[in-house]
């Protein structure tokens, strides 16, 4: 296996220059997820306006894969319709759990296709999925929260 | 790459026992394999050691030629298996200087050994007639340290939650050594047991046992040491330590997984209520109740890991043949060399004692701005296997303000060339993430 499969330039770039990082108001739900094996942590907030993901904000500590993945998540999910965001998450999860045998759809996953190589490193899949699981968790609660209000 | 002034010079230490690392490496076939197209550099013996061919072959031969259950057969195979199993107990007892083989209880690992004592104390706490030294309730205390592996934290947290007792902690000084300035306060008349690590699996620090044990004796508390990282690497003679319990595990000392040891003073093992109930641990069983076998059988319910215990005995033979003093010295030389070499890496901070004194061959470090997971991944691509993460010692990480560390740990089969490979790997890490 080539190390460059794992540490694609896109990943290193997102790691060194993260997009949308920092916790912001307003938000309806916040999720804090940790990877107990390595101590990676992410805190992620979701703000919905109707069915639209109006803001995803996050902060965390961890390896390049987990932190770059959060930055890519911001690019991909922020501003999308919630249902569309969930489709993207499904595609990303499928890619990451596909043991390197899933061909990623660049139209759906954009920069996230760079994580295709991570799927070949079982120990790192959890790192890549950390923020995505936190988003799923926070978005579900944010949706029921705004559902309660309407 | 290393300042020769900082390594331990032969002319000064020529009388120290030496080992033949080339001959030793030949006993470990795995060390000849490649990882990611590079020669394997195994620097993770603090997690688990590699096994010499002597141990693996002896276990194979035992399983193929002497397999039977222990302690309950009159037949020849049963006798042979029992001799193998009990013979291992005798070897282990002699290895640590226990007064009697019966003071060695075989368990699954160090974690189970610690839990055995904690759960036995829980059982005693529920029984008003139990030995008062083992009973806890509100107002009583258990003392541990911030340097512990989670296996020496969580069992005591559970025991304290369940009995209403209070868990107290000795802190760590910036130097990576235990801060004993408030020992008198943390270990006090209310303390029932003090349990602490002999050598830290993260910092590498070797703790002095006597000041803590002495204070515990003053207040009548029991003393346990977690020797998982020390027994494999240095001669540990119980005659030197005034402790009631000591735990360690087979797989970190050239033996197999699935076999661990609880050393306990006979008189205490006799007073302790059993942990697991079942076969082999009884004296007699009736429908109205049971009486229990004498230790160590009292604490070895069910069929034990027979082949694994036998393998541990063979591992002890191997260590004795090389000599624990020679192993200790070899690792000290490697550690001094590694600490000096790591000091040349930009932005690297050693977490733990910075000199090869009062510490073992297990070195944790932090590379400025680069997560240990990434460090470990790049090193792996160079064939260098280190451990990254919190090493099951989160309170220690928090104490030093790092989420995780990279840890290189040495054993009798490691060489300075492997330390050089580590340093070269770290330069590559800096290149990728610089």
pLDDT at position A147 is: 65
Residue B347: half-sphere exposure toward Cβ, Cα within 13 Å = 13
pLDDT at position A108 is: 87
Q: Which positions in chain A touch B372 (Cβ < 8 Å)?
A: 38, 63
pTM above 0.80, yes or no: yes
Same domain, B14 and B152: no
Is B56 a member of any domain? no
Residue contacts between A and B (CB atoms, under 8 Å): 49
Smallest CA–CA distance, residue B368 to chain A, in Å, is 13
pLDDT at position B2 is: 43
What distance in Å separates the CA atoms of residue B85 and residue B102, rounded to the nearest whole number? 13
**Strand partners for B247:** B226, B262
- Active-site residue list of B: 392
User: Is A39–B404 a contact, with Cβ atoms under 8 angstroms apart?
Assistant: yes
Tokens describing residue A146: 């705004």
Q: What is the mean pLDDT of chain A?
A: 89
Q: Which of B252, B234, B263, B217 is nearest to B101 (CA)?
A: B263
Same domain, B283 and B152: yes
Q: Give yes or no for A70 touching B (CB within 8 A).
A: no
Same domain, B72 and B32: no
Indicate whether A150 pLDDT > 60: no
What is the DSSP-derived secondary structure letter of residue A53? E
Smallest CA–CA distance, residue A62 to chain B, in Å, is 6
Is B179 a member of any domain? yes
Same domain, B15 and B36: yes
Smallest CA–CA distance, residue B433 to chain A, in Å, is 8
> Going residue by residue through chain B (434 aa), what tens digit of pLDDT does each one get?
444 444 555 666 777 888 999 999 999 999 999 999 999 999 999 999 999 999 999 999 999 999 999 977 789 999 999 999 999 999 999 999 999 999 999 999 999 999 999 999 999 999 999 999 999 999 999 999 999 999 999 999 999 999 999 999 999 999 999 999 999 999 999 999 999 999 999 999 999 999 999 999 999 999 999 999 999 999 999 999 999 999 999 999 999 999 999 999 999 999 999 999 998 898 899 999 999 999 999 999 999 999 999 999 999 999 999 999 999 999 999 999 999 999 999 999 999 999 999 999 999 999 998 999 999 999 999 999 999 988 889 899 989 988 889 999 999 999 999 999 999 999 999 998 87
Where in the sequence is the domain holding B241, given as residue range(s)? Answer: 66-320
What distance in Å separates the CA atoms of residue B224 and residue B114, rounded to the nearest whole number? 9
Q: How many domains does chain B have?
A: 2
Is B265 a member of any domain? yes
> Which of A7, A37, A64 lies nearest to residue B371, judging by beta carbons?
A64
Residue B414 belongs to domain with CATH number = 3.90.1150.10
User: Is A62–B373 a contact, with Cβ atoms under 8 angstroms apart?
Assistant: yes
Per the model's pLDDT, the better-predicted residue between B21 and A144 turns out to be: B21
Q: What is the ipTM of this complex?
A: 0.80
Same domain, B258 and B395: no
C-alpha A11, offset from chain centre: 13
Is B58 a member of any domain? no
Is B268 a member of any domain? yes
Same domain, B327 and B314: no
> Strand, helix or coil at A31?
strand
Best of A1, A15, A36, A39 to substitute, by most chain B Cβ atoms within 10 angstroms, is A39
Q: Give yes or no for A43 touching B (CB within 8 A).
A: no
Same domain, B130 and B225: yes
Q: Give yes or no for A41 touching B (CB within 8 A).
A: yes
Residue B241: half-sphere exposure toward Cβ, Cα within 13 Å = 27
Same domain, B298 and B332: no
Q: Which band of pLDDT confidence, cut at 50, 70 and 90, is reported for residue A107?
A: confident
What distance in Å separates the CA atoms of residue B273 and residue B262, rounded to the nearest whole number? 15
Tokens describing residue B51: 């096994």
User: Is B381–A3 a contact, with Cβ atoms under 8 angstroms apart?
Assistant: yes
What lies within 8 Å, CB to CB, of B417 at 6+ separation is none
Same domain, B139 and B208: yes
User: Is B404–A38 a contact, with Cβ atoms under 8 angstroms apart?
Assistant: yes
Is B60 a member of any domain? no
Instruction: Quickly count: other Cβ atoms within 10 Å of residue B430's Cβ.
Output: 19
pLDDT at position B153 is: 98
Q: Which residue among B270, B304, B320 closes a domain?
A: B320
Q: Give yes or no for A127 touching B (CB within 8 A).
A: yes
Distances (CA, A) of B195 to A123, B45, B250: 33, 24, 20
Smallest CA–CA distance, residue B243 to chain A, in Å, is 33
pLDDT at position B7 is: 54
Phi, psi dihedral angles at A22 (to 5 degrees):
110, 145
Same domain, B11 and B80: no
pLDDT at position B58 is: 98
Beta-strand pair B387-389/B348-351: unpaired
Contact A70, A60 (CB under 8 A): yes
pLDDT at position A33 is: 94
Q: Each residue of A6-60: pLDDT tens digit?
A: 788 889 999 999 999 999 999 999 999 998 777 789 999 999 999 999 999 999 9
User: Is A38–B378 a contact, with Cβ atoms under 8 angstroms apart?
Assistant: no
Residue B141 belongs to domain with CATH number = 3.40.640.10
Is B257 a member of any domain? yes
Best of B403, B428, B434 to substitute, by most chain A Cβ atoms within 10 angstroms, is B403
Same domain, B137 and B269: yes
Same domain, B150 and B88: yes
């Amino acid at each position: 296996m080539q190390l460059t499969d794992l540490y694609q330039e896109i990943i290193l770039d997102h790691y060194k220059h993260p997009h949308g990082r920092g916790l912001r108001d307003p938000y309806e739900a916040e999720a804090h997820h940790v990877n107990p094996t390595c101590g990676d942590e992410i805190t992620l907030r979701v703000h919905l306006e109707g069915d639209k993901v109006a803001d995803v904000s996050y902060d965390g500590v961890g390896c390049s894969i987990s932190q770059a993945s959060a930055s890519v998540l911001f690019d991909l999910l922020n501003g999308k319709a919630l249902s569309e965001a969930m489709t993207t998450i499904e595609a990303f999860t499928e890619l990451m759990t596909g043991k390197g045998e899933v061909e990623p759809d660049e139209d759906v996953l954009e920069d996230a296709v760079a994580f295709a190589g991570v799927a070949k490193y079982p120990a790192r899949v959890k790192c890549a999925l950390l923020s995505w699981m936190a988003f799923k968790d926070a978005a579900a609660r944010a949706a029921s929260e705004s559902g309660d209000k309407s | 790459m290393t300042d020769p002034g900082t390594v331990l010079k032969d002319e000064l230490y020529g009388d120290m026992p030496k080992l033949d690392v080339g001959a030793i490496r030949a006993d470990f076939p795995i060390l000849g394999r490649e990882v990611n197209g590079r020669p394997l550099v195994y620097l993770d013996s603090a997690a688990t050691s590699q096994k010499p061919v002597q141990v693996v072959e002896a276990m194979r031969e035992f399983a193929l030629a002497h397999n039977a259950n222990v302690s309950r057969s009159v037949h020849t195979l049963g006798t042979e298996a029992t001799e193998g199993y009990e013979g291992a107990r005798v070897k282990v007892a002699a290895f640590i200087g226990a007064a009697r083989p019966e003071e060695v209880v075989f368990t699954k690992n160090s974690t189970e050994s610690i839990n055995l004592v904690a759960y036995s104390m829980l059982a005693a706490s529920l029984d008003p007639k139990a030995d008062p030294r083992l009973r806890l309730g509100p107002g009583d205390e258990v003392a541990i340290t911030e340097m512990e592996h989670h296996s020496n934290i969580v069992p005591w947290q559970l025991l304290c939650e369940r009995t209403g007792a209070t868990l107290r902690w000795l802190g760590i000084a910036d130097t990576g050594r235990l801060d004993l300035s408030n020992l008198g306060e943390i270990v006090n008349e209310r303390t029932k047991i003090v349990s602490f690590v002999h050598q830290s699996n993260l910092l590498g620090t070797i703790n002095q046992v006597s000041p803590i044990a002495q204070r515990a004796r003053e207040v009548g508390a029991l003393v346990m040491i977690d020797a998982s990282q020390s027994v494999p690497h240095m001669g540990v003679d119980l005659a030197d330590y005034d402790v009631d319990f000591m735990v360690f595990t087979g797989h970190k000392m050239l033996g197999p997984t699935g076999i661990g040891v609880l050393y306990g003073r006979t008189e205490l093992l006799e007073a302790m209520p059993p942990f697991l109930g079942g076969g082999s641990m009884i004296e007699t069983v009736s429908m109205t109740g049971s009486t229990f076998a004498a230790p160590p059988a009292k604490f070895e319910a069910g069929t034990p890991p027979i082949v694994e215990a036998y393998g541990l005995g063979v591992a002890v033979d191997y260590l004795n043949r090389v000599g624990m003093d020679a192993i200790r010295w070899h690792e000290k030389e490697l550690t001094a060399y590694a600490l000096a070499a790591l000091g040349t890496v930009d932005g690297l901070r050693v977490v733990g004692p910075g000199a090869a004194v009062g510490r073992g061959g297990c070195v944790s470090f932090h590379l400025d701005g680069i997560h240990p997971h990434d460090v470990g991944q790049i090193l792996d691509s160079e064939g260098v296997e280190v451990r990254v993460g919190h090493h099951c010692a989160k309170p220690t990480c928090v104490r030093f303000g790092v989420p995780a560390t990279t840890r290189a740990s040495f054993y009798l089969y490691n060489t300075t060339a492997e330390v050089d490979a580590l340093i070269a790997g770290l330069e590559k890490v800096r290149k990728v993430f610089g």
